[in-house]
Copies of this chain bind each other. A is one copy, B any other.
Amino acid sequence: VRVGLKDVATLAGVSVKTVSNVVNDYPFISAPTRERVKAAISTLNYRPNLSARQLRTGRSGLIALSLPDIQSPYFAELASLMVQEAQPYGWMVLIDETGGDRQHERRVAAGIRDNLIDGSIASPLSMTTADVAVLGPAHPIVLLGERLEAGPVDHIAVNSISAARDATNHLIDLGRRRIAAIGSIEGQVGTAAVRLEGYCLALREAGRRVERRLIQPGNGFRRADGYTSTMALLEQTKHPDAIFCFNDLMALGALRAIHERGLSVPDDIAVIGFDDIDAGLYSSPTLSTIAPDKAYIVTRTMSLMSRRLDGDPDWTPQEYETPYTLIARESTVGADRIGNAHVLQSGLP
């Protein structure tokens, strides 16, 4: 039994408009009328029909968040924070897993979700900036994560080159000589490419050679990929004495691989990751990492979305840089000074 404004109006003995006003908290209603309407609403257990409302207003209150992989703790945490942050704006977040599929990512960005969503937040793996540009999105988009070129939409990302350089320098400062790097280069979007660049940069600045055999691309960003790449590294006659993993998940896989080979972290090999996921606090050894300021990402995203949504359509798109921190834990610094992790370096404000 569908109950609509009309039914409520009849029961309360008022017009539809009045009911609508009450529902929408329109201020100028006499107290008694409001009470009567509210009573009718609750007795009939009336719930506004969002579809009808959105058909009328063009707003659904739905924001899409499209991520390559919900199972990645980093993205899961981000999703969780987004949902929270959207609350005060009155938005619901429709989480969408693309699997890094370019077609899928394009579709979402295009709002192919059929005008059901008011805006979308995307962390594309393979969609290129060009894609976004071509699509000429019908609704606001906020792009998250690495991107090579500047584009026509707002963009929030950590400065990966700088962060990767800091991570590598941390290993250099520790006196490590054979520093490896692992991380996939799949997709068009260059998370790995950029981090690799920072890695090479640090090495060159330190007057070292970049050794090709110490770079393991692998394919993917999960534990299994870190495990496999590390195993490949360890099969070399002279194994590395440090590994910079392009994310924490791979670093955890690396820890396991090293453990299986009977080597010790950080004594034989120091390991550092990227993302600062919760798991890194409980692994043995705990994981050193680059910690992007997730709160910044989330609040910035939602405030941008809000600004785009109500007004200012020709407010020119901007680039925002996520602050980050290097956190040194047992996997680079050892267990002796642990207790509290040491924050060594901070990124930009």
Contacts of A343 in B (CB 8 A): none
> Is A55 part of the contact surface with B, judged by Cβ < 8 Å?
yes
Q: Report the copy number of this chain in the oligomer.
A: 2
Interface string of A94-132 (1 = CB under 8 A from B): 111100000000000001111110000000000000000
By a CB distance below 8 angstroms, the chain B residues around A112 are 47
- A303 contacts chain B at the CB level, 8 A cutoff: no
**Complex contact B76–A70 (CB within 8 A):** yes
Q: How far is the CB of A77 from chain B (nearest CB, A)?
A: 6
Taking CB atoms, residues of chain B closer than 8 Å to A223 are 278-279, 281-282
Q: Is A318's beta carbon under 8 Å from chain B?
A: no
| A289 contacts chain B at the CB level, 8 A cutoff | no
Q: Tell me the chain A residues, 224-278 only, with Cβ under 8 Å from chain B.
A: 227, 252-253, 255-256, 259, 278
- Asked if A71 CB lies within 8 Å of chain B CBs, one says yes
Q: Shortest CB–CB separation between residue A90 and chain B, in angstroms? A: 12
Q: Which one of B71, B84, B282 contacts A278 once the chains associate, using CB atoms below 8 Å? A: B71
**Across the two chains, which residue of chain B brings its CB closest to A58?**
B2
Q: What is the bound-complex CA distance between A92 and B108, given in angstroms? A: 12
User: Which residues of chain B are within 8 angstroms of A10 by Cβ–Cβ distance?
Assistant: none
Bound form: Cα–Cα A124–B284 in Å: 33
- Residues of B with C-beta under 8 A to A222: 278
Min C-beta distance of A107 to chain B, whole Å: 10
Instruction: Please indicate the chain B residues that have their CB under 8 angstroms from the CB of A93 in the complex.
Output: 95
CB contacts (< 8 Å) of A116 on chain B: these are 50-51, 60, 62
Answer yes or no: A21 CB below 8 A from chain B CBs: no
Interface members, chain A 35-75 (any B CB < 8 Å): 47-52, 54-55, 60, 62, 69-71, 73
Across the two chains, which residue of chain B brings its CB closest to A57?
B51
Q: Is the CB of B97 within 8 A of A94?
A: no
